[in-house]
Amino acid sequence: MGYVIAFMVLPIAIIATYSFFQRGQYGGIVYSLTLDNFARALDSLYVGILGTSVALSSTVTLLALLIGFPTALAITKLQPQHQNIALVLVILPFWTNFLIRTYAWIVLLSSEGLLNQGLLGLGIISDPLALLYTPGAVVMGLLYAYLPLMVLPIYAALSRIDPSLREAAIDLGASRFTALRQVVFPLAIPGTLVGCVFVFVPSVGNFIVPELLGGGKTVMVGNLIRDQFLKARDWPFGSVLAMAMVVMLVLLFALQARITKRVLGQG
């Protein structure tokens, strides 16, 4: 336990402390208390970047939900032994190298890439489309990376629902869709929220996808934090940004726990 506390709590505590200090002239840390970093973080430039990150990550989460829910539902309809195979198929890419999965999208989306070549070859377009280095490419890369994290918790929630509940609703005269909407959906809310958090959290902090697929044009809070630590060497300001991100995510976890509790409480 001591090990966990030393390497988990201590780093966060140091980051939290740094956020109150000043940057030295040559990138070190001057240990005098200040709130300047916090004031600077409220600059419209940085608030804008945070807004972009939240907007892009929300889009990714929404798309993952729209694709992931039917996928999880489809898996629960398979034979039990096929369900395991389908789950492994969905999760397997997630365990492979993240950089390579992102790189695959450069191959697909670049102007000489396969998507453009295909469309040109079919005569659908006459000039290559600018697909890479757009916010759309960033959304696509994040969706590709984190979709499995949406499917798994929803599947776990759906597979725990007693099928006789749905059958009872249909026997009592509900249509298949009504049974799905009024019986299955509410019971799947906790798992669905876990999926949303699992997709949103790593999306917000990601700096690889915006860099490789956004080409530096789409700056997210992860890129900003990375640059403060490794390029600008302004650790106190980087710490403030990181703390802002962590606090936002903790609030999100709390919100998810609260909604789950309320849903289960009603049930």
Partner 1 sequence: MTGVGKLGWVLAAVCFFLYAPIAIVIVMSFNASKIPFQWTGFSTRWYSELFANASVLEGLRNSLIVGVSTMILSVVLGVLLAIGITRHSTSSAVQALALAPAIIPDLALAIGLLALFSAISFPLGLTTVILSHTIFCMAFVAAIARGRILQIDPALEEAALDLGDTPRGVFFRVTVPSLMPAIIAGALLAFTLSFDEFVITFFTNGPSTPTLPIVIYSMVRFGVTPEINALASLVLLFSVAIVLISQRSVKLSQSI
Cβ contact 151:90 at 8 Å: yes
Taking the complex as a whole, the smallest distance from the CB of residue 158 to partner 1 amounts, in Å, to 12
Q: Which is nearer to partner 1, 257 or 263 (CB)?
A: 257
Nearest by Cα to 93 from 107, 108, 104? 104
Identity of the residue, 44 or 84, whose beta carbon is nearer to partner 1 in the bound complex: 84
Alpha-carbon distances, residue 125 vs 105, 117, 140, 179 (angstroms): 20, 10, 21, 44
> Radius of gyration (Cα) for the chain, nearest Å?
22
d(CA 56, CA 200): 9
Q: How far apart are CA 38 and CA 242, in angstroms?
A: 11
Q: Closest approach of Cβ 200 to partner 1, in Å?
A: 10
| Nearer to partner 1 (CB atom), residue 187 or residue 204 | 204
Whole-number minimum distance, CB 147 to partner 1, in Å? 7
Q: Name the residue nearer to partner 1 (CB basis): 148 or 187.
A: 148
Minimum CB separation of residue 3 from partner 1 in Å reads 6
44 or 127: whose CB is closer to partner 1? 127
Closest CA to 22 of 212, 207, 181, 237: 237
- What separation in angstroms does the CA of 197 have from each of 50, 64, 87, 241? 17, 11, 20, 20
Tokens of 64: 């993952």
Closest CB to partner 1 among residues 44, 94? 94
Strand extents, DSSP E, the chain: 22-23, 29-30
Nearest distance from residue 267's CB to partner 1, in Å?
21
Nearer to partner 1, 44 or 265 (CB): 265
Residues 6+ apart with CB under 8 A from 132: 106, 109, 110, 111, 113, 213, 215
Report the alpha-carbon distance of residue 126 to residue 122 in Å, rounded.
10
The least distance separating partner 1 from the CB of residue 106, rounded to whole angstroms, comes to 6
- Minimum CB–partner distance for residue 42 and partner 1 (Å): 21
